[in-house]
Amino acid sequence: MAKKVVASLQKRGAKDFTKVIKMIKVSKTGSYTFKEEILFKDNIKGFLNN
């Protein structure tokens, strides 16, 4: 799967995208989970604020 993501990010216009990893705390257990997404660079702040 990683190869597919890397190959698609090497295409034209790929510099407009960023891989974002967000750490989310689970209230029940107190542990953390991670959410990964590849977003357009203008949508990063919205993803991190939610």
Burial 16-41 (b: 16+ CB within 10 A, else e): eeeeeeeeeeeeeeeeeeeeeeebee
Nearest 5 degrees, angle CA 30-CA 38-CA 13?
A: 165
Round to whole Å and give the CA distance between 42 and 3.
Answer: 25
Q: Give the global pTM.
A: 0.62
> So what's the pLDDT on residue 10?
66
Mean pLDDT computed over 12-36: 90
pLDDT at 25 over 80: yes
Rounded average pLDDT over 26-36? 94
